[in-house]
Structure 1
Amino acid sequence: MYEIQTREFKIQSDKSHSIFDDFKRHGFFINHSCLSGRCGNCKAKVIKGESQLVVPEIGLTEIEREHKFILTCVRRATSDMILDLDVLKDVTLEQVRTVPTKISTSTKLSEHVIKLVIRLPPGVDFKFLPGQYVNFIRGSIKRSYSIGGVEGDNKLVFYIKRYLKGVMSKYLFEEAKENDLLRIEGPLGSFFLRRDSLRTILFLAVGTGIAPILAILKSPLNRELLRDRTVFLFQGGRVESDLIGLNYFRSSTIHYYPTLSRVRRDGFYFGHIQKTLLDQDIDLSQSTVYACGSTEMIEDSKSILFKRGLKPNQFHADAFVESN
């Protein structure tokens, strides 16, 4: 048996479980998303001890490796360890389960994006924290999609981008029909609003990365907390049609910065959302950042914002990674 230690508590481990699973078995959840070594959310800094790598840590940069960071989802402890990491506190995560659903509607929003609405079985209460995701399961294929919101009492909304050669994409964009059976597994992930004391919330989203942020902003569960904060949204796309929810955000009370990277248009900022954010006079020391979208945007945002005074524990991300 082995022990994994943090600065606050000690738990037992053995070689058959990942570090992430060791914490989970004892009721402690590490920040996470993909759980496959790709997104980098579950990283921890090794203060002392050794671990064994199970699959490659794609989600780590060379600088992070040099500074002794590891990804807890793809490593097993091989000795006593002391780790510096964030553990979710005062949060109740719903039990992950698999539920049969049916496709209700599929609406084409642009050439590469659809709005998919799926219907839960009567009487099934599928609870989740706004911002979390589920896995779609069809036969042997499993792919992850963020929940973009709810419709009525038993429908979940998703905003899905088409990927070339994507197996699930081909089905959803070319073959899916109303009432098709589609199983979902979830809820999953730790991308949701934190109940911290910082007064400013910054949302960063590109493409369909806006989906979990839409769920967060529209949820009645977050209404009181958001009302007491100053909220900024920096949404990016190549062209105007990429900006899902544009009219909704423009009519809301949040500080909204729609940004285009391919064309210049009146009423829009131009370039990358990271640059748009830095051009504003925002006190990052009093801000919590939630970023969702491409890995490139998230890594660049972290690098830029940390240099400007944002602390690592004030940055939460959900990186969209391609499966094939």
Structure 2
Amino acid sequence: MGFEVSVQPSDHRFRAEPGETVLDAALRQGLSLPYGCRDGVCGSCRGEVLSGQIDHGKAPLEVLSTADRQAGFALFCCATAKSDLRIESREVRSLDDIPVRTLPARVQRLTRAAPDVMLIELKLPANERLQFLPGQYVDILLKEGKRRAFSLANPPHQDDFLQLHVRHVPGGQFTGHVFNTMKERDLLRLRGPHGSFFLRTDSEKPMLLVAGGTGFAPIKAIVEQAIAEGCKRPMDLYWGGRGRADLYLLQLAEQWPAQHATIDFIPVLSDPPAGDHWNGRTGLVHQAAMTDHPDLSGYQAYVCGSPAMVAAARRDFLTRCHLPADEFFADSFDYAADVREAIDTLTSLDTTVGHL
């Protein structure tokens, strides 16, 4: 037996099965509620429970506080229904006509952009195109039902190839394959697009774009799409890394403000080695953005990077810089799957050695 969920203000309705998250149930039935990480980190799926009972599941306190819960808010990627529900959530109407598809793709080109970053260009079959919005991601389908999520770095209007930015995770099964054995013309299977992290075109507000490491990939797609559409909204882009090598497409990012008066670009390094001879901004990338933008009440923010960076940016932008909660859009890059595989492999090796 399931529970009926009605969404306000649209009054759209769907059923959630026991143990199924509200978000999963909505997506399964073709209703596009906003989401990013689907793991309770980014806060994009936050909404209000107007009536009914839920289980908050694994929603972290740093993203959904006790006070938020008592006030009726929930993260719908974590929450499960315990009764019929009335919830309030905006709907991503522009996703309605974009089908999620499973397609084969051929590795067209591999480019080592940094010692630990590979750019992969994928070619779909002839006469096939993947419809998506700038900022969305695809899943690479692996054996045994495993999958790895990567943002699309190319804008939709440049879809001859799909570009992924892959950071090497030491010991990771898939990223190890990318860096050590993957070859051009290899075949992959992908499924997508996914995610509600994409450029909102129905707003005139200036945009604050914050990327950490390979979180630059979807930000790149958003900026290039905005340029192609002749967007006149101001865009302030902050890209952070530990050292200069982490800003693996620095020259491209520097070209944008040189060619477009509405774009500003600020690179930020948290721990530049002496050999970088870095004279630019240093520290945490989201804090650099806050220093320059102490009042974000009139902005939209697009943030992509590690879960820790995304969570800190959401907390600080909303509480200290007065950014409206519904103007924070985020995607967190969680490398936990590959890291878990690396740990499992090491544990297995330790166990084997112990039996020798």
Report the TM-score when normalising by structure 2: 0.81
Deviation at 1:281, TM superposition (A): 4.6
Preserved contact between residue 57 and residue 71 of structure 1 (Cα < 8 Å)? no
Distance 1:225 1:139 in 2: 42
Distance 1:36 1:279 in 2: 29
The one-letter code of the counterpart of 1:57 is: K
- Partner residue, 2:222: 216
Structure 2 vs 1, CA of residues 67 and 231 (structure 1 numbering), >3 Å: closer, same or farther?
A: same
Deviation at 1:134, TM superposition (A): 0.4
Distance 1:170 1:142 in 2: 14
- Partner residue, 1:50: 53
Matched, 1:286 2:298: yes
Query: 1:186-225 maps to which residues of 2 (within 5 A)?
Result: 186-219=192-225, 223-224=228-229
Structure 2 vs 1, CA of residues 229 and 136 (structure 1 numbering), >3 Å: closer, same or farther?
A: same
Preserved contact between residue 133 and residue 146 of structure 1 (Cα < 8 Å)? yes
- Partner residue, 1:158: 164
Structure 2 vs 1, CA of residues 280 and 39 (structure 1 numbering), >3 Å: closer, same or farther?
A: closer
Preserved contact between residue 60 and residue 70 of structure 1 (Cα < 8 Å)? no
Distance 2:327 2:171 in 1: 36
Distance 2:63 2:268 in 1: 30
Deviation at 1:110, TM superposition (A): 1.7
- Partner residue, 1:257: 266
Distance 2:199 2:75 in 1: 22
Matched, 1:78 2:87: no
Preserved contact between residue 13 and residue 77 of structure 1 (Cα < 8 Å)? no
Distance 1:294 1:153 in 2: 26
Distance 1:281 1:67 in 2: 26
Distance 2:21 2:290 in 1: 38
Distance 1:224 1:149 in 2: 14
3-state SS, counterpart of residue 136 of structure 1:
strand
Query: 1:55-70 maps to which residues of 2 (within 5 A)?
Result: 56-59=57-60, 61=62, 63-68=64-69, 69-70=73-74
**CA-to-aligned-CA distance 1:194-213 (integer Å, 9 cap, x gap):** 12334311100010000011
The one-letter code of the counterpart of 1:240 is: R
Deviation at 1:241, TM superposition (A): 1.2
Preserved contact between residue 38 and residue 57 of structure 1 (Cα < 8 Å)? no
Match of 1:313 among 306, 310, 326: 326
Distance 2:94 2:100 in 1: 18
Bigger mean CA deviation after superposition, 161-170 or 15-24: 15-24
Structure 2 vs 1, CA of residues 59 and 42 (structure 1 numbering), >3 Å: closer, same or farther?
A: farther
The structure that is strand-richer by fraction is: 1
Unaligned runs of 5+ residues in structure 1 are none
The one-letter code of the counterpart of 1:207 is: G
Structure with bigger gyration radius: 2
Preserved contact between residue 43 and residue 63 of structure 2 (Cα < 8 Å)? no
Distance 1:106 1:114 in 2: 7
Matched, 1:8 2:9: yes
Structure 2 vs 1, CA of residues 62 and 243 (structure 1 numbering), >3 Å: closer, same or farther?
A: closer
Deviation at 1:230, TM superposition (A): 0.7
3-state SS, counterpart of residue 149 of structure 1:
coil
- Identical counterparts, % of pairs: 29
Distance 2:229 2:26 in 1: 31
Distance 1:24 1:110 in 2: 36
**CA-to-aligned-CA distance 1:104-159 (integer Å, 9 cap, x gap):** 22121222111111121111122111111001113223100011116965311111
Distance 2:41 2:162 in 1: 26
**CA-to-aligned-CA distance 1:6-33 (integer Å, 9 cap, x gap):** 4413324243553224434665311113
- Partner residue, 2:147: 142
Matched, 1:112 2:116: yes
Deviation at 1:301, TM superposition (A): 0.9
Bigger mean CA deviation after superposition, 204-213 or 255-264: 255-264
**CA-to-aligned-CA distance 1:40-68 (integer Å, 9 cap, x gap):** 43233333311246xx5255537524421
The one-letter code of the counterpart of 1:161 is: R
Structure 2 vs 1, CA of residues 147 and 57 (structure 1 numbering), >3 Å: closer, same or farther?
A: same
- Partner residue, 1:246: 250
Measured on the aligned residues, the alpha-carbon RMSD in Å equals 2.5
The one-letter code of the counterpart of 2:123 is: R
Distance 2:213 2:293 in 1: 25
Report the TM-score when normalising by structure 1: 0.89
Matched, 1:100 2:104: yes
Deviation at 1:278, TM superposition (A): 1.9
Preserved contact between residue 33 and residue 189 of structure 1 (Cα < 8 Å)? yes
Query: 1:227-246 maps to which residues of 2 (within 5 A)?
Result: 228-246=232-250
**CA-to-aligned-CA distance 1:61-97 (integer Å, 9 cap, x gap):** 3752442143323443232323233322344451111
3-state SS, counterpart of residue 125 of structure 2:
coil
